[in-house]
């Protein structure tokens, strides 16, 4: 091996890399981006879980108990409601993930040193958060029980009270807190972004690299005809994948659809359309398969995995990342999937998420057509 020849090849490759600023930027930016994203997003710690309260007692004793939830870093009390229907509405809309119910005889039983039961209801569509929240609520209940027991012993000299406060835990939408019930809807979104963005991100770039794009341009084909013609096969594959995922989830993992299956497939087609044209836009803009594929992973797959609420609760992320999740389409799609799958709700509640998906699909469609027209010119 000749050092001089080796150095010449290394010098040539270095110059090539420096001139290819896109590859260089990706090579340097990807590690930094992933470290920051994983470091901030990968957390299972529970913080500021949105909580609503139905205080049937409305006494100093109940307010004292609820003040412990107000001051806890694990709960964020958003408001008070007056019946179960109002609590369910908050959980249906995703405005709250936990509901506390204090019975009307709370103060009476506490004063009489009798056992009393408070109820905590968790949104089972996020099984991990619901489970952790119930555990933290039980801890707060135990601390309060110890406090009132101590006060009673000092006042009246009573013996230790046997479980003065018990916590009745209920999980709506997913009573057994089965992980499969939560993960299957999220996996559908993940499968779709892989099929759509990653596959279409190379389709036009491949034509440029193989030198066949010039031949296509010379034909009577118009830009939109070429783009939509390339997208249609992937759209069909994507919908087949959605159907397969839904059937496998139901037959193998026993995860049925509680809500409207037609709405689920309609919303899936909207999300799939946006993801397909997102990948197509990358392919048209970058013209190289490697770069387009890498950017599809960074801008499509990773945000869907980490910033959509699929694995990690958005409420637990730092505020800058929470704001960033608003531009992640999968956030809205997963909310729709879980709403249909687990809660059985429809567009009367999910309309805003559906609107975001429709706008996203339209923007990506226009962007792909605009970029391709620009390239033809």
Asked if pLDDT for residue 97 goes beyond 60, the answer is yes
Alpha-carbon distance of 347 to 223, in angstroms, equals 34
In this prediction, residues 48-59 reach a mean pLDDT of: 90
Tokens 């197509």 identify what position?
280
Where residue 263 falls among pLDDT bands split at 50, 70, 90?
very high
Q: Which residues contact 348 (CB under 8 A, 6 or more apart)?
A: none
pLDDT of residue 21: 62
The per-residue pLDDT for 374 is 43
Query: What does R_g of the chain's alpha carbons equal in angstroms?
Result: 27
Which domains does the chain show, CATH number per domain?
Answer: 49-172 (3.40.1710.10), 178-376 (no CATH)
Report residue 375's pLDDT band, with 50, 70 and 90 as the boundaries.
very low
pLDDT at 41: 58
Please give the pLDDT value at position 221. Answer: 66
Can you give the pLDDT at residue 376? 47
Strands 75-80, 116-123: pairing is: unpaired
Q: What pLDDT score was predicted for residue 274?
A: 94
Q: DSSP E strands: which ranges in 33-82? A: 49-55, 75-80
Instruction: Give the DSSP H/E element, type plus range, for residue 122.
Output: strand 116-123
| Average pLDDT taken over every residue of the chain | 81
Look at strands 116-123 and 98-102 and give their pairing.
Answer: antiparallel
| Of 158 and 226, the one with more pLDDT | 226
- Listed range (6-20, 214-228, 301-315) with the worst mean pLDDT: 6-20
pTM: 0.80
Whether the CB-CB separation of 117 and 104 falls below 8 Å is answered with no
Residue 133 and residue 122 in contact, taking contact as beta carbons nearer than 8 Å: yes
Q: Classify residue 296 as left (phi > 0), alpha (psi -120 to 50) or beta.
A: alpha
For residue 99, the 8-state DSSP code is: E
Mean pLDDT within 261-278: 94
| Higher per-residue confidence, 161 vs 209 | 209
Q: In 3-12, which positions are buried (b, 16+ CB within 10 angstroms) versus exposed (e)?
A: eeeeeeeeee
Contact 248, 331 (CB under 8 A): no
């Amino acid at each position: 091996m000749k050092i001089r020849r080796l150095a010449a090849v290394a010098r040539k490759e270095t110059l090539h890399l420096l001139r290819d600023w896109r590859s260089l930027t990706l090579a340097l930016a990807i590690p930094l981006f992933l470290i920051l994203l994983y470091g901030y997003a990968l957390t299972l710690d529970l913080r500021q879980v949105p909580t609503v309260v139905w205080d049937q007692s409305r006494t100093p004793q109940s307010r004292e108990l609820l003040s412990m939830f107000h001051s806890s870093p694990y709960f964020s009390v958003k408001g008070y409601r007056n019946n179960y229907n109002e609590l369910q509405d908050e959980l249906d809309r995703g405005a709250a993930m936990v509901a506390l119910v204090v019975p009307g005889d709370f103060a009476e039983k506490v004063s009489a040193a009798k056992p009393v039961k408070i109820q905590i209801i968790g949104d089972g569509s996020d099984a991990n958060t619901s489970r952790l929240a119930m555990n933290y609520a039980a801890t707060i209940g135990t601390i309060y029980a110890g406090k009132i027991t101590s006060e009673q012993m000092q006042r009246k000299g009573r013996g230790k009270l046997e479980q003065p406060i018990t916590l009745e835990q209920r999980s709506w939408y997913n009573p057994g807190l089965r992980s499969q019930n939560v993960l299957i809807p999220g996996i559908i979104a993940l499968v779709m972004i892989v099929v759509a963005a990653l596959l279409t991100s190379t389709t036009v770039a491949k034509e440029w690299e193989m030198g066949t794009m010039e031949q296509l341009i010379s034909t009577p084909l118009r830009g939109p005809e070429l783009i939509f013609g390339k997208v249609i096969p992937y759209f069909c594959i994507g919908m087949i994948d959605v159907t397969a995922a839904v059937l496998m989830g139901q037959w193998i993992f026993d995860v049925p659809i509680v809500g409207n299956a037609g709405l689920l497939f309609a919303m899936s087609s909207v999300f799939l359309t946006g993801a397909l044209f997102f990948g197509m836009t990358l392919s048209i803009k970058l013209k190289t398969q490697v770069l387009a594929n890498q950017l599809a992973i960074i801008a499509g797959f990773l945000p869907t995995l980490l910033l959509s609420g699929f694995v990690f609760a958005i409420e637990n992320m730092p505020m800058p990342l929470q704001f960033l999740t608003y531009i992640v389409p999968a956030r809205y799609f997963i909310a729709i999937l879980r709403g249909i799958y687990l809660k059985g709700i429809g567009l009367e509640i999910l309309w805003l998420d559906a609107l975001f998906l429709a706008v996203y699909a339209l923007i990506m469609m226009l962007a792909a057509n605009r970029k391709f027209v620009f390239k033809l010119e």
